[in-house]
Amino acid sequence: MKLTYGVHRALQQYADRQAIASGTRQTSFRQLASRVSRLAAVLQDLGVQHEARVALLASNSDRYLEYYLATWWAGAVANPVNTRWSPAEIAYSLNDSGTELLIVDEGHCHLLPAIHGHITGAHLRVAFFDDGSCPPDLFDLEALLGSAAPISDADRQDGDLAVIFYTGGTTGAPKGVMLTHGNLWASAMSRYATVPAVPGAKAIHVAPFFHVAGAGRLISHYLAGGSALAVPAFRPPQVIEAIARHGISEIVLVPSMLQLLLSDSSFDSEKLSSLRRIFYGGSPIGEALLDSALQLLPKVELIQSYGMTETSPLITMNPHDNHVGEGRKTGRHRSAGRAVLGVDLRIVDSQGHVAAVGTSGEIVVRGANVMQGYWGLPEQTSHALRHGWLHTGDVGYLDADGYLFVQDRLKDMIITGGENVYSAEVENVILQHPAVESCAVIGLPDVVWGERVHAAIVVKPGHEASQEEIQAFCRQHIAGYKCPKTVSAVPLLPMSNVGKVLKASLREAHLRAESNRGPQERAS
């Protein structure tokens, strides 16, 4: 089903319900339909044709939903930009996807000169979409929208490309994950067939809309006729105030955000009394955090989701039942839950054979939610989708009731605060530092971030390199969340006999050293 379906359905069934709010502005579905059908006209007037890529570099707001819907209404493909990336990384995704139109909000205009320096194509046009005044050299979408006549929906089909989400790549360069209308639709339907939508639900969206987690939730919530509140950044006091003011019933978080929310000095159970469901993902929830959440928010259900960009994103869900009482006693709160209805999940060994219950192997997935592939990377696509199954790169096992326990990642990747960081990308940057002989980037357990990026470096003889210097060097090249939070100098890296760094040994050695020192020394 096309993702604009929700607009047509809303006009027929609940046109005057609130679709989305942002700051003090509220937009009904009727207003949303009007703006989307006119914004689509503006996009086409700016030369956007079917299948053209349209990027948005912006914080969460009501306009983000309008951007997605208008892009699809015009028959085009959305390329939402990670705002945490460096200008070079942003330009890479624009160049690689052949984006023709880049839309920016006021808060990101200052990045344009630096981005332009890396743009290789001649055709990139830039438009401004925000409340403030438009810089003179940009197209002003609000102004154009005001005088545009609505156009008909391009009526995209299941197999048509809807979004390219750029994620870090195992070999360094980011990869564009191609998701169709049918992929994102299937994931939304799997979600609701597994954990039903609550009529009248009001969701606050703090997860960024440029990520599949935030976007997938935004899209599925809008499709089911829910009301949304978009907030530009995750700041606990503002989030708590917004929940209270808007009577929010649902929130999507990574555990590190939940930790920050519950431990914030402005936290007040009363203010969160409208909250009924916390959807969290990125990692299972720690025992202490779970205890706090259950104690501080006794009316709230905790629901875990496990997934990835390549699966639009849902693979499994773990309902609240497993977080309390008998469910918790069985340890199922430490699992990622079970495959949602519509997703086919297996654990396979290195030969591709199905692993027995309780036996670890790679998690592979099949279903209408699985991506079409990586943009422009047919070899990496066929490798990821070999034998008709998406190979997630995650290692886990299933228990006898189909509960998935995720144990490790085959890909050399760190998940920190919900963001994927590929070690290779960070290592490539650090190796450019003149004082570094060799290095290895690993993830170490972290109470707040789930994992933190750690770099072990071997310094060249006669050189010096402090943690601060390596961090500052990284920040010049890559997004802040990818930069190592800690750096250690080591005399040499543990190597296999084929010259590959033994990261598991390295990680163990660091964990042993840290546990000897105690946590207070580690916190930096």
Contact 151, 44 (CB under 8 A): yes
159 binds a second copy (CB under 8 A): no
Question: How far, in Å, CA of 305 to CA of 65, rounded?
Answer: 22
196 binds a second copy (CB under 8 A): yes
Closest of 238, 267, 234 to residue 252, by C-alpha: 234
Q: Bridge-partner residues for 128, per DSSP?
A: 104, 140
Closest of 223, 296, 282, 288 to residue 252, by C-alpha: 282
How many residues at the interface with a second copy, by CB under 8 A? 27
193 binds a second copy (CB under 8 A): yes
What does the longest C-alpha to C-alpha distance in the chain come to?
Answer: 73
Nearer to a second copy, 219 or 289 (CB): 219
Collapsing DSSP states into helix, strand and coil, what is residue 504? helix
CB 393 to a second copy: min, Å:
21
Residue-by-residue DSSP string for 381-421: HHHHTGGGSEEEEEEEEE-TT--EEEEEESSSEEEETTEEE
Scanning 62-70, 242-250, 303-311, 395-403 for contacts with a second copy by CB under 8 A, the matching segment is 395-403
Scanning 1-9, 116-124, 451-459, 469-477 for contacts with a second copy by CB under 8 A, the matching segment is 1-9
Among 342, 352, 376, 494, binds a second copy (CB under 8 A): 342
Among 109, 294, 355, 368, binds a second copy (CB under 8 A): 368
Nearer to a second copy, 8 or 123 (CB): 8
Among 139, 150, 192, 471, binds a second copy (CB under 8 A): 192
Nearer to a second copy, 257 or 315 (CB): 315
**Given its phi and psi angles, is residue 125 left (phi above 0), alpha (psi -120 to 50 degrees) or beta?**
beta
Nearer to a second copy, 215 or 370 (CB): 370
Nearer to a second copy, 152 or 265 (CB): 152
Nearer to a second copy, 136 or 325 (CB): 325
CB 304 to a second copy: min, Å:
16
CB 246 to a second copy: min, Å:
24
Nearer to a second copy, 161 or 398 (CB): 398
Closest of 409, 264, 403 to residue 323, by C-alpha: 403
Question: How far, in Å, CA of 151 to CA of 364, rounded?
Answer: 42
Contact 381, 375 (CB under 8 A): no
DSSP state of 198: P
Question: How far, in Å, CA of 332 to CA of 326, rounded?
Answer: 9
Window 425-484: residues binding a second copy (CB under 8 A): none
Contact 70, 40 (CB under 8 A): yes
54 binds a second copy (CB under 8 A): no
CB 64 to a second copy: min, Å:
23
367 binds a second copy (CB under 8 A): yes
CB 230 to a second copy: min, Å:
22
Question: How far, in Å, CA of 230 to CA of 97, rounded?
Answer: 27
C-alpha radius of gyration, the chain, whole number:
23
Residue that the structure tokens 């090249």 belong to:
477
Nearer to a second copy, 117 or 402 (CB): 402
Question: How far, in Å, CA of 311 to CA of 308, rounded?
Answer: 5
158 binds a second copy (CB under 8 A): yes
Nearer to a second copy, 316 or 420 (CB): 316
355 binds a second copy (CB under 8 A): no
9 binds a second copy (CB under 8 A): yes
Among 268, 287, 401, 508, binds a second copy (CB under 8 A): 401
Among 206, 223, 272, 384, binds a second copy (CB under 8 A): 223
CB 158 to a second copy: min, Å:
7
Among 197, 377, 424, 489, binds a second copy (CB under 8 A): 197
Omega of the bond leading into 313 within 30 degrees of 0 (cis): yes
Among 224, 365, 455, 501, binds a second copy (CB under 8 A): 224
Nearer to a second copy, 8 or 353 (CB): 8
Closest of 186, 193, 167, 191 to residue 178, by C-alpha: 167
Q: Could you tell me what percentage of the chain is helix, strand and coil, using 3-state DSSP and rounding each to the nearest 5?
A: 35, 25, 35
Question: How far, in Å, CA of 392 to CA of 357, rounded?
Answer: 19
Nearer to a second copy, 349 or 469 (CB): 349
Question: How far, in Å, CA of 125 to CA of 47, rounded?
Answer: 10
Per-residue tokens: 291: 């205890």
Q: Using CB under 8 A as the criterion, which residues of the chain lie in contact with a second copy when the complex forms?
A: 1, 5, 8-9, 12-14, 158, 189-190, 192-193, 196-197, 223-224, 338-339, 341-342, 344-345, 367-368, 398, 401-402
